[in-house]
């Protein structure tokens, strides 16, 4: 039986104690400011206790947002379809407790607690268990580089958790120089892999973690703790293109933003923002990417910054390639997908390159039938914070040619509006209709070809 509790901490000698959630709670009774729930993490009885995962070279990732699919129970309904499509792994956007019930998940403040609006810890385990029954791995995106702006009570009673001398785009930097801070996040990763039997983790924006040796300690601890017969895959998002992190047996792969960015330029002709670094010699850059992994391997960008390390020695499976994902779609002002940004023939050709490349491909929910529904940035904050996010979101695009005047920026959807979330729900019901069936058939065919002809050749690339 679950028990709801809240813990009292003394914030300062001259203040009364404040009720705050347990920072390592497995669940909340309500939202981030409600009582924490004590649960038995071993209560769930696994139907597939002998599942050991799948080798990395077999991976075809499918990124999805659990909330947009109706929570953990809603995601379960789509598992047979995804297995038939040719996907071998689903990747969940972050599921840790965040403010409200609508959020991408990167505003999480309780890393150990499962978002209550998605379901209970046991319901998440049921999803993972059923995915394994279909031969699907389950990956989770975890955020160790920052906490969200609302509900981070750690700052009130554990000030040493954060640095005053270093600020990230999301606020004060987490102080990974502190052993207890490292342990907090390492234990979190182990929880997901052991208690939830996840097959892999994707570590968000590790370039924002100042102590790079923490990443090594994290990976080494996981590898030492998890039985070697289990296939556990650790994937990075890292703007730094630090190839040396992929040169050992610790981290499996990295999301290859270079691949996406140069492909996006070739498909759309867009040149603003970070795409400007990929405009010159786009086709030779793509060739370098296909043959060597990263495009930026210590090269200097148009903005005068050098980044990256040589990557040609790495196998192609060290890179996750994608045409779309939550960031590249949702961080557009209007959340447009490639299906409305480029012509169908060009997108079909790019899809062939994605799915038959030796890099590990990632699909974003709805991509496979050419959905034209946007994926927008959405939140459910209190009104004060909602207004700040609304204004910040519009200011972010003030230098883009399509949003130079205030009136045009007012057309950017309000992140806090329910309609913004509802517009982002994928239209699964249309995928077999005449307008979309040919696109879906193409993905099915290409994935069959990949599993038949490409995957066997990746065992020892």
Radius of gyration of the chain (CA): 22
- How many angstroms separate the CA atoms of 319 and 397, rounded? 30
8 Å CB contact between 319 and 293: yes
* Tokens 């947002």, located at residue: 65
One-character DSSP codes across 225-290: HS-TTS--EEEE--TT--GGGGSSSS--EEE-HHHHHHHHHHHH---SGGGGGGSTTHHHHHHHHH
Q: What 3-state DSSP class applies to 378?
A: coil
Partners of 322 in the β-ladder: 362
CA 56 to chain centre: 18
* Tokens 């959340």, located at residue: 335
CA 156, 26, 174, 181 dihedral sign is positive
- Catalytic hit among 97, 204, 327, 414: 204
- Catalytic hit among 129, 199, 237, 414: 237
367 catalytic per annotation: no
8 Å CB contact between 247 and 314: yes
- Strand bridging mode 233-236 / 200-203: parallel
What are residue 165's phi and psi, to 5 degrees? Answer: -100, 0
414 catalytic per annotation: no
Tally Cβ neighbours within 10 Å of residue 211: 16
Q: What 3-state DSSP class applies to 85?
A: helix
* Catalytic residue numbers, as ranges: 204, 237
């Amino acid at each position: 039986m679950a028990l709801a509790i809240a813990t009292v901490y003394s914030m300062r000698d001259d203040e009364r104690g404040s009720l705050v959630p347990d920072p390592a709670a497995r669940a909340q009774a309500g939202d981030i400011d409600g009582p924490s729930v004590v649960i038995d993490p071993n209560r769930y009885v696994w139907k597939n206790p002998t599942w050991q995962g799948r080798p990395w070279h077999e991976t075809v990732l499918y990124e999805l947002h659990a909330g947009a699919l109706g929570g953990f129970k809603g995601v379960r309904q789509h598992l047979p379809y995804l297995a038939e499509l040719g996907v071998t792994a689903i990747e969940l956007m972050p599921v840790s407790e965040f403010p409200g019930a609508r959020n991408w998940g990167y505003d999480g403040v309780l890393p150990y607690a499962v978002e209550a609006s998605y379901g209970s810890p046991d319901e998440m385990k049921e999803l993972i268990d059923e995915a394994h029954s279909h031969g699907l791995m389950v990956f989770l995106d975890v955020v160790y580089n920052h906490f969200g702006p609302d509900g981070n009570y750690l700052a009130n009673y554990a000030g040493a958790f954060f640095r005053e001398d270093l600020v990230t785009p999301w606020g004060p930097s987490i102080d990974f120089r502190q052993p207890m801070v490292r342990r907090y996040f390492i234990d979190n990763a182990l929880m997901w892999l052991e208690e939830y039997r996840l097959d892999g983790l994707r570590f968000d924006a590790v370039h924002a973690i100042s102590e790079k040796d923490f990443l090594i300690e994290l990976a080494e601890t996981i590898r030492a703790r998890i039985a070697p017969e289990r296939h556990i895959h650790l994937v990075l998002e890292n703007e730094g293109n630090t190839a040396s992190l992929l040169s050992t047996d610790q981290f499996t792969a990295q999301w290859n933003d270079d691949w996406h960015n140069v492909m996006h330029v070739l498909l759309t002709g867009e040149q603003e923002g970070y795409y400007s670094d990929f405009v010159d010699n786009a086709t030779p850059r793509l060739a370098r990417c296909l043959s060597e992994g990263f495009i930026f391997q210590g090269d200097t960008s148009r903005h005068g910054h050098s980044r990256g390390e040589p990557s040609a020695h790495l196998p192609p499976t060290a890179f996750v390639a994608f045409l779309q994902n939550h960031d590249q779609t949702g961080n557009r002002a209007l959340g447009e997908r490639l299906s409305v940004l480029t012509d169908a023939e060009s997108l079909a050709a790019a899809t062939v390159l994605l799915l038959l490349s030796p890099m590990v491909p990632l699909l974003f929910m709805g991509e496979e039938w050419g959905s034209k529904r946007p994926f927008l940035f959405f939140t459910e904050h209190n009104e004060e914070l909602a207004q700040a996010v609304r204004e910040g979101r519009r200011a972010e695009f003030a230098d883009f040619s399509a949003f130079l005047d205030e009136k045009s920026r007012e057309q950017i959807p309000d992140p806090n509006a329910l309609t913004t979330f509802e517009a982002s729900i994928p239209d699964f019901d249309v995928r077999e209709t005449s307008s979309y069936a040919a696109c879906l058939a193409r993905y099915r065919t290409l994935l069959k070809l990949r599993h038949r002809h490409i995957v066997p050749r990746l065992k020892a690339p």
